[in-house]
C-alpha cells in the first residue's frame, strides 16, 4: 500500500513536471510568418508581418493579395495564399521598374515545415531573382512548399502585369 502511494505520488509529480515544459502546453503550431527565412522587407512594404518570433503561435491575419504600394517605379504586390497540407504559403514581390528585386514570404507552414521553409525559401528566392520569373525548380524535400511558392509568386507577377524582359 505504501509503495503504491509512493508510485502514485511519483507519477503525479512527473506529470506535473513534464507539463511545465514549454512544448507541453504550447498548442498546435499554426501557419506562422516565416521568420526563420531571411527577408529583406522593410516595415513600409510589409504591413502584414508583425515581428513574429520562432515561438509565435498566433498566425498573423493573412495579408490580402493584390497591389500593396506603388511609389514611382517601385511596385510591391502580394500573391495569394496557396495551401499545402501543412498550411498556406504566401509571397510578396517587389518590382523596381522592370526588375524583380525581392521576394519575401508573408506566411509559410509551421511545425516540421517551418524548418523545411527555412531550408527552401532562400533557394527559391535566389532562383526567382536569377530567372526574373516564377520559373523555379522544386527544392527537393520541400515539393509542396516550392510549388505553392511558385504559384503565389506567379499570381503576384500576373497582378503586376510583369513580363520577363528578354
Partner 1 sequence: MATRIEHRQRRSADGGPAASWWPDVLGPALASSVLVVVTMWASGGGLHGLGSLAAGVTSVGRLTGLVSADLLLIQVLLMARVPVLERAYGQDRLAGWHRRIGFTSFTLMLAHLVLITVGYAQTLHLSLLRQAWELVANYPGMLLAAVGTAALVLVTVTSIRAARRRLRYESWHLLHLYAYLGVGLVLPHQLWTGADFLAAPLARLYWWSAYGGCAGVVLACRLGLPAWRTLRHRIEVDHVVAEAPGVYSIHLRGRRLQQLPVRAGQFFQWRFLSGPGWSRAHPYSLSAPPGPDRLRITVKAHGDGGRAVAGLRPGTRAVIEGPYGRLTAERRTARRVTMIAAGVGVTPLRALLEELPYAAGEATLLYRAGTEPEVLFRDELDDLAATRGVRVRYLVGARAEDGSWLPAGWSSALDELVPGVRQHDVFVCGPDAWMQAVARAARQAGVRADRIHLECFAW
Instruction: List residues binding partner 1 (CB under 8 A).
Output: 1, 4, 7, 11, 14-15, 18-19, 21, 23-24, 26-29, 85-87, 111-112, 115-116, 119, 140-144
Nearer of residues 30 and 133 to partner 1, judged by Cβ? 30
Nearer of residues 127 and 146 to partner 1, judged by Cβ? 146
Residue 76 sits at the vertex; the CA angle it makes with 66 and 74, to the nearest 5 degrees, is 140
Q: What is the largest CA-CA distance in the chain?
A: 84
Nearer of residues 149 and 162 to partner 1, judged by Cβ? 149
Q: Which of 151, 144, 146 is nearest to 85 (CA)?
A: 144
> How far is the C-alpha of 131 from the C-alpha of 147, rounded, in Å?
16
Burial 71-91 (b: 16+ CB within 10 A, else e): eeeebbbbbbbbebebbbbbb
- Tell me the closest approach of the beta carbon of residue 94 to partner 1, in angstroms: 29
Nearer of residues 96 and 115 to partner 1, judged by Cβ? 115
- Tell me the closest approach of the beta carbon of residue 103 to partner 1, in angstroms: 22
- Tell me the closest approach of the beta carbon of residue 1 to partner 1, in angstroms: 6
- Tell me the closest approach of the beta carbon of residue 143 to partner 1, in angstroms: 7
Positions of E strands within 79-164: 82-84, 87-96, 99-107
Amino acid at each position: 500500500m505504501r509503495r503504491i502511494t509512493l508510485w502514485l505520488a511519483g507519477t503525479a509529480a512527473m506529470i506535473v513536471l513534464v507539463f511545465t515544459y514549454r512544448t507541453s502546453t504550447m498548442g498546435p503550431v499554426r501557419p506562422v510568418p516565416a521568420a526563420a527565412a531571411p527577408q529583406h522587407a522593410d516595415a513600409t512594404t510589409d504591413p502584414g508581418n508583425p515581428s513574429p518570433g520562432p515561438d509565435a503561435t498566433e498566425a498573423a491575419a493573412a495579408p490580402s493579395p493584390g497591389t500593396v504600394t506603388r511609389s514611382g517605379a517601385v511596385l510591391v504586390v502580394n500573391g495569394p495564399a496557396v495551401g499545402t497540407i501543412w498550411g498556406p504559403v504566401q509571397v510578396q514581390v517587389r518590382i523596381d521598374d522592370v526588375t524583380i528585386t525581392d521576394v519575401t514570404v508573408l506566411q509559410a507552414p509551421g511545425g516540421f515545415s517551418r524548418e523545411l521553409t527555412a531550408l527552401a525559401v532562400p533557394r527559391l528566392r535566389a532562383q526567382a531573382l536569377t530567372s526574373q520569373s516564377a520559373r523555379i525548380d522544386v527544392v527537393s524535400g520541400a515539393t509542396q512548399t516550392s510549388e505553392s511558392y511558385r504559384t503565389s509568386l506567379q499570381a503576384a507577377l500576373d497582378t503586376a502585369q510583369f513580363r520577363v524582359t528578354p
